Structure 1
């Protein structure tokens, strides 16, 4: 088997890529990755240069991983700015580095996409080793696997990568019949607060509709993209997804794209844009034309919870960060990444840091869980992880 890199996802046929195990995750579909490249969100100007890894046995695609040469650390959500500064202080180049990740998306899942006709562990080991061979050949600082699932992490740690833990806040479906059933498991104060927030949305004359990608018009996307751009700029962020990129994702992903659209007098005023797999809803983009009391909570959290209950989905991952999510039914979940730095001195320093960081992150998650919104008897029965 040999490993090589692709300079664009379109160098491989969509059907070949999508036939690999793991591409039921919408962020790992060829269509999603290609749209980001085609419309410039992934580009050298934005610090993302495609360098996708493919493992081949003759003409057979054995495995692959979405990979990029990064010229900065923006849009990754596993923060290594301090590592980059340490390199700089010592006169070394941290960038470019190789990352295996989904651009701009802190979503958990497989990073090693495997041909089901080949031994899985052998393919994973070859990818883990192959990524290091790539950074050696390019003479760059490091390789980082971000938000990898447990199976990939086990192989990466066995191959000598260093594990870093982070924390997100996920909602898990305990077989709820409806939203009131979910609320019944919360303590009285949190239950009352959520009902008050939802009532305020109604009192402002706002209604919400759930639309899938194949139900959305180009005209609606023009409005929603404007909300997204204005909101990103207002918070000092750079809106890299173009309107045409959203339209393409809508067309290509169909019902895997879900939008919760808020309307006033039958006109859209805000939206939360999500993607979904069979069992998980992923919150990604939010935008609003104006400030409305508690609309963000309704569109970005409560509509998603209702959708998961209605669709029988297991999990809702609303995005990175935000302790305020805990009060609204989302509990801490540890996330994982794997790192290899070619400079032994810096690898040792990072290992020392991670050995101290991991237990601190675990303690933080345990504390927030214990202080969370669920009744103690309910918390014991909730799906975890």
Structure 2
């Protein structure tokens, strides 16, 4: 389809128009909730709380994902000729590449050394959140293929109209990537580690799938993690008090103060999500001598648990693994959730029952020279990601007789 600029901040053709919203608040909650995957109880699309109106609006209202921090809202809104909302893309105009977890610093450095201007760029993602989810959002009842194709074409048109270097759709579902590839985006892959609940009724059922030596090591690690008088609490719903958030925020900031950390989220953000989506949140908190000393925040989807941030104010052997990985498995089994996604990177998760999984993103590069160079790089990178996934898949802790 040929898009044209109608002169008032939107891109359009005879069939639809793309409007740009400077904030999630430009959508009503009801409008956003009409998109598949954004609300609990959506049996067709499932529910991902990280693309919910509550989560995304909290990021903006707290000042975490705003222009001042380099995340200027530039959300796309697809409407038909009659003005009916068909779909949307959560999108930000960015002046840097921080908080994305799909790294393009090498691309930006090379382009700017060659005289180009890489920033600003368009980033279609959930800020600070390396979790796969819907990126091409479609209003329930609309034709999915048609709307997604319109969103992909609209994203390219907006990128070209702005004159920015590129648009990046990260941690996208494979179905979205297929549409974006057909529209001329480049496909990129990466690796994470996820736990898959194979219908386990108890943690012991899961342990029974491990090789004997790995099973013994896992039991020992869990015992040692709690050996120093540590107990674990699961806080969700009404249990997420302001005091609990104060404690967790202290842990989060401690991690952020270390040389490898960066605290993108502020204290207000946690209060906002606690008010708006408490039943979708799990805090795993470690208590010792009457006070909390460590914790991790997770988000509860319709069939998945999404692990995000961790921190501590006391160091104890293996406590990080217990709070972030083992307890997440316990919770998933108790709630009959199918998957635990434990965040970015971390081959140490493999030994704890998490399997290698391929992640996907799609990239539109406007400049032909940069696009060709990136396309060549991504071919090699995809092969390496596939090779590494196969290698890691051969070195899981699971019993070989169950893997055959």
- What TM-score, normalized to structure 1? 0.97
1:128 is the counterpart of 2:114: no
Deviation at 1:154, TM superposition (A): 1.3
Deviation at 1:216, TM superposition (A): 1.4
CA contact (8 A) 1:282 1:319 kept: yes
1:34 is the counterpart of 2:49: no
Q: Within 5 A, what are the aligned runs for 1:313-328?
A: 313-328=337-352
Of 66, 70, 78, the residue aligned with 1:55 is 78
SS in 2 for 1:156: helix
Of 1, 19, 22, the residue aligned with 1:4 is 19
1:354 is the counterpart of 2:378: yes
Q: CA RMSD in A?
A: 1.1
Which residue number in structure 2 is paired with residue 364 of structure 1?
A: 388
Which residue number in structure 1 is paired with residue 6 of structure 2?
A: none
Moved more, 239-248 or 358-367: 239-248
Q: Distance in 1 between matches of 2:262 and 2:356?
A: 27
Moved more, 181-190 or 124-133: 181-190
Of 173, 189, 201, the residue aligned with 1:165 is 189
Deviation at 1:294, TM superposition (A): 0.7
Deviation at 1:325, TM superposition (A): 0.4
Q: Within 5 A, what are the aligned runs for 1:265-344?
A: 265-344=289-368
Q: Distance in 2 between matches of 1:347 and 1:229?
A: 38
Q: Distance in 2 between matches of 1:206 and 1:113?
A: 43
Which residue number in structure 1 is paired with residue 48 of structure 2?
A: 25
Q: Distance in 2 between matches of 1:255 and 1:378?
A: 36
Which residue number in structure 2 is paired with residue 65 of structure 1?
A: 89
SS in 1 for 2:226: helix
Q: Within 5 A, what are the aligned runs for 1:46-195?
A: 46-57=69-80, 58-195=82-219
Moved more, 303-312 or 35-44: 35-44
Which residue number in structure 1 is paired with residue 279 of structure 2?
A: 255
**Superimposed CA distance per residue, residues 1-27 of structure 1 (whole angstroms, 9 cap, x where no aligned partner):** 110111011011011101110212111
SS in 2 for 1:203: coil
CA contact (8 A) 2:193 2:355 kept: yes
CA contact (8 A) 1:213 1:251 kept: no
Deviation at 1:44, TM superposition (A): 2.3
Deviation at 1:266, TM superposition (A): 2.6
SS in 1 for 2:111: helix
Deviation at 1:153, TM superposition (A): 1.2
**What is the number of residues matched between the two proteins?**
380
CA contact (8 A) 2:94 2:123 kept: yes
CA contact (8 A) 1:214 1:251 kept: no
Q: Distance in 2 between matches of 1:191 and 1:72?
A: 44
Q: Distance in 1 between matches of 2:380 and 2:265?
A: 37
**Where does the alignment leave 5 or more consecutive residues of structure 1 unmatched?**
381-385
- What TM-score, normalized to structure 2? 0.92
CA contact (8 A) 2:128 2:264 kept: no
